[in-house]
Amino acid sequence: MSDTDTVLVNRSGGAVTITLNRPDKLNAFNDDMHLALRQALAEAREAEDARAILLTGAGRAFCAGQDLGDRDPRRGVPDLGHTLETFYNPTVRLIRAIEKPVVCAVNGVAAGAGANFALACDIVLAAKSARFIQAFCRLGLVPDAGGSWHLTRLLGEARAKALALTGEPLDAETAERWGLIWKAVDDEALADEARALVEAFAKGPTKGYGLTKQAIHAASTQTLDSQLDMERDFQRKAGYSADYAEGVAAFLEKRVPEFSGK
């Protein structure tokens, strides 16, 4: 890890912290940062002893979306569909597919795809000074990185359209009130609160968390009937886990469970 790395990775016990690290550019994405983020996420997904992930940004911003200097039409018209297919979409799919909790600590402004990467995470905490900006409309673009999907599901069409068509910044406390994120936190408390949450997840029943994520993701497209079937199948799997045995034993023995994540 060096100061010039576009993404910093820190392991502490089962918690992996991934920090977007181009603070001079408000952590805007260049191609290198895309690939480094994807590699860090993929490694955290694969490592058995990595049990929870925290995504955050270095400096005063979380992420300003695409580095616009790298997709400047004055230097030749770029194929932005190719950019999404190559860089953005695989990472959004990966975040959603990780069978471990992914927490996002939005430490400052989150604009464009930066905002929408945050929304792809499982739990979003944001500093009260942070703002979410669907900046795409200012450039003649459409919300990407899953933004049109997450905004609509989380907020409904009225608010999703207003945010996307006006590009008006949404402050963290309103984002919490509207249900776009989990919690707005005092700026100076954000890092500690996010770390505590991820450390707690890293000691939790990882298999059960993974199945819970999958069930909730499926809920928006399934009927109640199919969802009940899925819950039955997932509960069967969870019931065979070592963590279920430990959870019940700990409850009955009136002690704190020691989950292995297995």
* Chain residues in the site for ligand LHQ (CB under 6 A): 25-26, 28, 64-69, 71, 80, 83-84, 109, 111-113, 133, 135-136, 139, 141, 144
Nearer to ligand LHQ, 24 or 253 (CB): 24
Compute the least distance from the CB of residue 63 to ligand LHQ, in Å: 8
Task: Provide the pairing of β-strand 109-111 with 183-185.
Answer: unpaired
Minimum CB separation of residue 159 from ligand LHQ in Å reads 19
Q: Could you tell me the smallest distance in angstroms from the CB atom of residue 219 to ligand LHQ?
A: 28
CB 242 within 8 A of CB 260: yes
Write b or e for each residue in 141-159: b if 16 or more Cβ atoms lie within 10 A of its Cβ, otherwise e: eebbbbbbbbbbebbeeeb
Do 139 and 184 contact (CB within 8 A), yes or no?
A: no
Would you say 9 or 111 has its CB closer to ligand LHQ?
111
Helices 113-120 and 147-155: crossing angle in degrees, nearest 10, is 60
Q: How far is the CB of 51 from ligand LHQ (least distance, A)?
A: 30
Q: Which residues pair with 103 in a beta bridge?
A: 54, 123
Nearest residue (CB) to ligand LHQ, 62 versus 201: 62
Shortest distance, CB of residue 220 to ligand LHQ, whole angstroms? 24
Q: Which of 24, 48 has the CB closer to ligand LHQ?
A: 24
Residue nearer to ligand LHQ on the CB measure, 174 or 214? 174
User: What residue type is 68 in one-letter code?
Assistant: L
> What residues are paired with 104 via a beta bridge?
55, 124
With respect to ligand LHQ, which residue has the nearer C-beta, 54 or 145? 145
Q: What is the CA radius of gyration of the chain?
A: 19
Contact between residue 50 and residue 100 where contact means Cβ atoms under 8 Å apart: yes
